[in-house]
Structure 1
Amino acid sequence: MSATLSDLFAFHRNDGLAIGAPDRPWLTYAGLRDLVGHTINALHAAGIGRGDRVAIVLPNGPEMATAFVAVAQGAVTAPLNPAYRLEEFEFYLSDLQARAIVLAEGYDGPALTAANRLGLAVLRLGHDAADPAGSFTLRAESVAPTEPDRSSVRPRDVALILHTSGTTSRPKIVPLLHTNLAASAHHIATSLALTPHDRCLNMMPLFHIHGLVAAVSASLAAGASVWCAPGFDALRFFGWMEAARPTWYTAVPTMHQAILSRAARNAEIIERVPLRFIRSSSASLPAQVMQALSETFRAPVIEAYGMTEAAHQMTSNPLPPQAQKPGSVGVAAGPLVRIASETGNWLVDGTGEVVISGPNVTPGYEANDAANAASFFEAEGHRWFRTGDQGSFDADGYLTISGRLKEIINRGGEKISPLEVDGVLMDHPAILQVVTFALPHPKLGEDVAAAVVLREGMEADEASIRAFCAARLADFKVPRRVILVDEIPKGATGKLQRIGLAEKLGLVSPA
Structure 2
Amino acid sequence: MSAYTTIPELLHSGADDAVAIRAPLAQPLSYAALRRNTAAAVAALNAFGVGRRDRVAIVLPNGPQMASAFVGVAAAACAAPLNPGYRAEEFEFYLGDLNAKALIVEHGSESAALAVADKLGILVLELLASDEGAGAFRLRPLKADPAGLVAAPASVAAAGDLALILHTSGTTSRPKIVPLTQANVCASARNVGASLRLDAADTGLNIMPLFHIHGLIAGLLAPLAAGGAVFCTPGFNALKFFGWMQEAKPSWYTAVPTMHQTILARAPQNSAVILANPLRFLRSSSASMPPQVIAELEAAFGAPLIEAYGMTEAAHQMACNPLPPALRVPGSVGLAAGPEVAIMDQQGQLLAAGETGEIVIHGANVTAGYENNPKANAEAYVGQWFRTGDQGVMDEQGYVRITGRLKEIISRGGEKISPREVDEILMDHPAVQQVVTFGIPHDKLGEDVGAAVVLHEGHSASEKELREFAAIRLADFKVPRKIVFLDEIPKGATGKLQRIGLAEKLGLGQGG
**TM-aligned CA deviation for residue 347 of structure 1:** 1.4
State the Cα deviation string for residues 398-453 of structure 1 (Å, max 9, x = none): 10000100000111111111000000010111111100000111111011000001
Preserved contact between residue 43 and residue 154 of structure 2 (Cα < 8 Å)? no
The aligned runs of 1:118-157 (5 Å cut-off) are: 118-128=120-130, 130-142=131-143, 143=146, 145-157=149-161
Task: Find the partner of 1:91 among 90, 93, 102.
Answer: 93
User: SS state of the match for residue 93, structure 1?
Assistant: helix
| Alignment of 1:356 onto 2:361 | yes
- Residue 73 of structure 1: SS of its match in structure 2? helix
1:6 aligns with 2:8: yes
1:365 aligns with 370
The one-letter code sitting in structure 2 at the alignment partner of 1:455 is: H
1:431-482 residue CA offsets vs partner (Å, 9 max, x unmatched): 1110000011111101100000111111111111111111121111100000
- Take 1:47 and 1:332, find their aligned partners in 2: how far apart are those partners? 41
Q: What letter is aligned with 1:289?
A: V
Most deviating of 358-367 and 146-155 = 146-155
- Residue number among 344, 347, 350 corresponding to 1:347 in the alignment: 350
**Offset, 1:344:** 2.0
Stretches of structure 1 that go unaligned for 5 or more consecutive residues are none
Q: Which amino acid aligns with 2:348?
A: N
Aligned to 1:448, the other structure's residue is in SS state: strand
Please tell me the residue identity of whatever aligns with 1:274: P
Residue 73 of structure 2 is matched in structure 1 by 71
- 1:145 Cα deviation after fit: 3.8
**Matching residue of 2:40:** 38
Query: Secondary structure, in 3 states, of the residue corresponding to 1:278?
Result: strand
- Quick one: distance in 2 between partners of 1:278 and 1:414? 37
The answer on 1:207 being equivalent to 2:208 is: no
Q: CA RMSD in A?
A: 1.0
- Paired residue secondary structure (2:76): coil
Query: Is 1:312 the equivalent of 2:316?
Result: yes
- Corresponding position of 1:432: 433
- In 2, Cα distance between equivalents of 1:123 and 1:147: 14
Kept after mapping to 2: 8 A contact 1:431/1:453: yes
Q: Which of 109, 112, 127 is 2:111 aligned to?
A: 109
CA distance in 1, matches of 2:398, 2:263: 31
**The residue matched to 2:307 in structure 1 has which SS?**
strand
Say which SS state the counterpart of residue 237 (structure 1) adopts: helix
**2:343·2:356 contact (CA, 8 Å) conserved in 1?**
yes
Contact 2:191-2:337 at 8 Å conserved across structures:
yes
Q: Partners of 1:445 and 1:38 in 2: how far apart?
A: 58
Contact 1:314 1:337 in 2 (8 A): yes
Identity of aligned residues (%): 59
1:271-306 deviation line (CA, Å, top 9, x unaligned): 000000000000000000111111111101100000
Where does residue 484 of structure 1 map in the other structure? Answer: 485
**Alignment-mate amino acid for residue 373 of structure 1:** A
- Relative to the length of structure 1, the TM-score reads 0.97
Secondary structure of the 1:238 match is: helix
**2: distance between equivalents of 1:125 and 1:317?**
39
For 1:268, what is the secondary structure of its paired residue?
A: helix
- Of 46-55 and 418-427, more deviation after overlay is shown by 46-55
2:303 to 282, 294, 299: 299
Amino acid across the alignment from 1:488: I
User: Contact 2:78–2:162 (CA<8 Å) still a contact in 1?
Assistant: yes
- Aligned pair partner of 1:268 in 266, 269, 272: 272
Shift in Å at residue 377 of structure 1?
A: 1.6
Larger mean Cα displacement after TM superposition, 41-50 or 196-205: 41-50
Q: Is the 8 A contact 1:50 1:150 kept in 2?
A: no
Is the Cα–Cα contact under 8 Å of residues 91 and 116 in structure 2 kept in the other structure? yes
| Cα distance between partner residues in 2 of 1:9 and 1:97 | 28
Counterpart residue identity of residue 311, structure 2: M
The answer to whether residue 381 in structure 2 is matched with residue 376 in structure 1 is yes
Q: CA deviation at 1:60?
A: 0.3
Q: Which runs of structure 1 show a deviation greater than 3 angstroms over 4 or more consecutive aligned residues?
A: 142-147
1:268 Cα deviation after fit: 0.5
Shift of 1:230: 0.4
TM-score by length of 2: 0.97
Per the alignment, in what secondary structure is the counterpart of residue 172 of structure 2? coil
